[in-house]
Amino acid sequence: MSKEVVRVLVASTNPVKIEAARVGIEPFIKGRELVVLGEATDSGVADQPYGDAETLRGARNRLAALCRGTKQADFYVAFEGGVFKTEDGRLHVAAWVCVSMHGDDYVSEARTATFQVPPAVQKLMEVEGLELGHADDKIFGRVESGRSEGTVGILTAGRLCRDRYYAHAMELAMIPFINANLYSLPCRLLLDICLLVAVFLRVKGAQMVFREDRTRDLPPQFYIMSAVHKGKKAVQANGQLRFSAKHMVTGALVDACVDPRWDFTVAAVLARLAAAREKDGPESPKLASIYMAMLLLVPPSSRSALSCEAVQRELSKEWYHNNIRECIKTSATKLISAWKLGPVPSNTTNDKSLRTTPAAARLVIGVPDLLWLSDAAEQYLYDEYGADTGDYRMNLKKIVDPLKHLAENPESVYPITREKIINVAGDRSDARTREFLQEVGSSVDTRKREREHEETIKEAKQLRAALDARYNHIGGEHDVCPSCGATGRIRFRFLEGYGQSDCRKNEVWGASTEMHATGPRKEANMSTHGYTGRFIKDHCVYGQASIVLSDDMAALSKWSSNATDTFSRKTKIICTMGPSCWDVDTLVKMIDQGMNVARLNFSHGDFEAHGATVQRIREALKQRPGKHVAILLDTKGPEIRTGFFKEEGGKVKLEAGQELVLTTDYDFKGDSTKIACSYAKLPQSVKPGSTILMADGTVSLEVIECLEDSVRTRVMNNATIGERKNMNLPGVRVDLPCISEKDKNDILNFGIPQGVNFIAASFVQDGDDVRGLRKLLGPRGRHIKIISKIENESGMKHFDDILAASDGIMIARGDLGMEIPPEKVFLAQKMMTGRCNLMGKPVITATQMLESMVTNPRPTRAEASDVANAVLDGTDVVMLSGESAGGAFPVQAVSIMRRICEEAESSIDYDTLFQRIRETVMNQNDGGLAIPEAVCSSAVKACIECNATLIVALTETGATAKLLSKYRPSPPILALSASESTIKHLQLYRGIVALQVPSFQGTDHVIRNALEHAKQVGLCSVGDKIVAVHGVKEEVSGSSNLMKVLEVD
């Protein structure tokens, strides 16, 4: 008979510490096999901790990092050795050990005995800054003594080696676990309250087997482990449920209406059921709780009586399936209450030794249901906490991942503490959850926002009046600049809260000054750089970048020397997939030229075609292992189209001044006087005087009259129109869902299974559209980022709400140009780009950027300027549409776009740009920044001051790299992440070069390897200075708070 296994994970690969953990735990697990493994973790303190507090903090940090990892164990152990001075100045050695059982929140801590360091060793440590182990090696002529006998072994001549020295503290740390009753430790739960719902939904006919185990020589935790390991042998499959009878939860486990005196006869249960139905109604969470209690607690001998028609009918109601969340909350509340009751009722067992243990239970459910249950639990966590939050990720690791792993490894044991179950039950009292709710804008006060907007306009007008009073010749007159003393032109323009001014000495680049508003100040501030800003309270959107031009005019005639893409380019490129780039060889060439994201346009094509494209992209990437290409799914979105004509495939000729009726009867076959429209609410949406555009704006109609099911219009220009042409309603909020049924099918049945990285949502009108899409994605699509396409006036009006809810913005200038006046599209583009920049969210500039390259090998000068100005405005990404999808020169289009971006980027004054962004953000945040952003901002500033050539960011979620990108550093940002999903997401952020690493274990080692890679690809050279940014907790919950400057050797 094989022995049961107890797994121990140590936060170190040092064999001394691994052996110390084994020696310290082994006496307490007799009769069981002990497996001890080591894993390197970061202490987050100095390599040689000084002081008792720092040493203990290092042990705690190592343990926390270990528990956050993916490896599961029964015990997690972390050691940290340090030194401290006594009052007389002598240096002493001590070590702390931290132990957690099953990764619980409860941590037992113990310290070793102390001894004095020899004065010679102390001198080396203090004078030369050596660590204790290195100083020992130098004094005593040893090599890596810290990995063998250690200082204590050297000084005791081997009588007490380092492993035994640590093992003594390990035994002390085990005291609370072998005396659980004295320390009031909660017993373990294998699964959380979600299991109760799973039982209710999935195993209502399952047979319960109550087991007895006569083991007496183990504490409760080990007893439960034993029961589960042995119990699995009795589980044959088909969802049979096992309870450990000695540790059953009391009757108050599920609901107070269940009698805690264990009166669970069928008659009593049905009576309570009838009473609850009459009191609370048939659709009551309390009623659902009774059902769960009935299934869990009715004795097996009485189970057959539950098949009565009335009960079966109630159990089958769909309502309970659709209200899992409320059922969980109701039941979880009672579970917590039951936990607080303390002892198990005496009539549940005759074993007196167990009456004082905390109430607890272990459930083992059949393997076929485990994967289903993990999905249900994941959905619940997603609904409760939202995506990308610390609580969501923590509970995902503690609940969902163990469930999935348990399906493959039924013998494993995974615990969940009471505190985590309380979190799952919906306790939102913690600050991090509140901050998250505020961040996603779930509690936005619309009226407050409107009041702030009114104050903004009022303040802008006051500022204009102040400027008028100070400079009474606005509008093109000349005057002396108060900043530089030069005579130049001063102008000021006020338009809906926007202001712009400019003063140039003799129209020479670099000598410009400007008046602009920052924060709530009533007077214009002076700066020595160009600026376009918006006057809103505590907020100033920056616009076009300052540029620096060379005096060497001959340099402008030289061609770029980069035949292929290099890591020097900052702006990213999206390429739309289509027939022109469907073969693998072309895709490889496009990757070489600079493609970062592949766009799948779901307005065309089917799953088979797009799936083949994804496969070819991945085949192309195999030929370029150092490159990364993300995949973006662009939804078709809601659309309004004209209908068919009487003559199939025909066209109708329209003349200016004629009347044209648009009918909502889409079955109507049209002619030159009447055309069908697919939008049923057209008569209710437009009004006389409204404009309707058809066929990409080639036909303009003016509404004359709105009837019940049709609209009379007047044709404004001569045109010929074909069937099924698109229709736009400028200034009208279209009452169509942002995500159509087709879009839902595309996302759920293609996007999520294929692992796309982004979804571009078409025609987003407000933040609710984005939140609805995020809910549709659910936990299965939590890795997918949402890019909102701004294509209509409604999207412009609600831009702030959309931006807050989205992961990025796409400025779709084609449809937007038909919704707002074309002369204002460039202003809208600059405004949206600036706001995205200040929020640190990527912005994509799209539509007709190099349109002429569909048929020509070179773009027009206007198109080249369009791309360059988008880069100077601050865009993160530029996009190719028909140029790459159906054009004759897809590879050349990527190449020329890359070269334009590189040229535009090389002309930006990054030092000035950084100062401007930092000042604006500081004003926006009342002069203060959150710790991660302050560190990242300081890192960019350090780059400027020490002339660094590279920034290295260790980032698990990408947050650190994104914050660095927000401040637009001149050197590239080398983002290191172990997450493939994060690597793909960073493909939309300006200036980031993403590199996937196996793990963050050993931060310095990871950085060294990254610098070797950087030297190979030309990002840095020997002697260069680089700035490294990472967190002491490896960026858990955005805790990036460490920055250092290194020199490449």
Looking at the annotation, which residues are catalytic? 599, 641, 789, 847
Class of domain 5-178: alpha beta
Q: Are 253 and 334 in contact (CB under 8 A)?
A: yes
Domain 578-638+737-906 has CATH 1.10.472.10: no
For 539, residues 6+ apart whose C-beta sits below 8 A from its C-beta are 519, 838, 920, 923, 924
Other beta carbons less than 10 A from residue 552's beta carbon: 8
223: exposed, middle or buried (C-beta count within 10 Å: 0-12, 13-18, 19+)?
buried
**Which amino acid is residue 159, in one-letter code?**
R
- Gap between the Cα atoms of 246 and 212, Å rounded: 7
Contact 991, 876 (CB under 8 A): no
Residue 758 has pLDDT above 60, yes or no: yes
133: CB partners within 8 A, 6+ apart: 144, 145, 146, 150, 151
With pLDDT > 70 as the criterion, what percentage of the chain qualifies? Answer: 60
**How crowded is the C-beta side of 645, counted as CA atoms within 13 Å?**
16
Question: Domain limits of the chain?
Answer: 5-178, 194-438, 446-505+517-524, 578-638+737-906, 651-728, 911-1047
Q: What percent of the chain has pLDDT over 90?
A: 30
The reply to whether 578-638+737-906 shares the fold of 5-178 is no
What would the mean pLDDT of 321-341 be, rounded to a whole number? Answer: 41
Burial of residue 681, with CB atoms counted within 10 A of its CB: 0-12 exposed, 13-18 middle, 19 or more buried: exposed
Whole-number CA gyration radius for the chain: 34
Query: Model confidence at 45, in pLDDT bands (50, 70, 90)?
Result: confident
Which H or E run contains 293?
helix 285-297
pLDDT per residue as tens digits for the range 552-585: 545 555 555 566 777 778 999 999 999 999 899 9
Averaged over 293-299, what is the pLDDT?
44
Full DSSP string of 1010-1023: HHHHHHHHTS--TT
Dist. CA 694–CA 427, nearest whole Å: 52
Helix axes 910-924, 825-839, angle to 10 degrees: 80
The answer to whether 534 and 831 have CB atoms below 8 angstroms apart is yes
How is residue 455 written in tokens?
A: 């104050």
Whether pLDDT at 534 is above 50: no
Q: What does the pLDDT look like over 956-986, one tens digit per residue?
A: 889 899 999 999 999 999 999 888 899 999 9
Q: With respect to CATH, is domain 651-728 assigned 2.60.410.10?
A: no
Contacts 24+ apart (CB under 8 A), 796-803: 796/820, 796/828, 798/765, 798/766, 798/767, 799/832, 799/835, 800/449, 800/835, 801/441, 801/444, 801/766, 801/767, 802/764, 802/766, 802/767, 802/769, 802/770, 803/835, 803/836, 803/839, 803/841
Per-residue pLDDT tens digits for 716-741: 999 999 888 888 888 888 888 889 89
As beta bridge partners, residue 1047 has 1025
How many other CB atoms are there within 10 angstroms of residue 452's CB atom? 14
The pLDDT assigned to 559 comes to 55
Query: In whole angstroms, what is the distance from residue 689 CA to residue 479 CA?
Result: 46
Would you give the DSSP letter of residue 539? B
Residue 1013 has pLDDT above 90, yes or no: no
Q: What is the pLDDT of residues 310-327, one digit of tens each?
A: 444 444 444 444 444 444
Mean pLDDT of the chain: 70
* CA contacts within 13 A on the Cβ side of 860: 10
Mean pLDDT of 135-159: 72
Instruction: Give the fold, CATH level 3, of 911-1047.
Output: Pyruvate Kinase; Chain: A, domain 1 (3.40.1380)
Q: pLDDT (tens digit, 9 = 90+) per residue, 868-917?
A: 999 999 999 999 999 999 899 999 999 999 999 999 998 888 888 898 88
CA atoms in the 13 A half-sphere facing the CB of 658: 15
Query: Which pLDDT band holds residue 223 (cuts at 50, 70, 90)?
Result: very low
Locate 950 and state its tokens: 């590279």
- Does the CA dihedral 595-598-603-609 come out positive or negative? positive
Sequence-distant (≥ 6) Cβ neighbours of residue 730 within 8 angstroms: 690, 691, 693, 793, 818, 819, 820
When mean pLDDT is compared over 76-80, 335-339, 367-371, the highest value belongs to 76-80
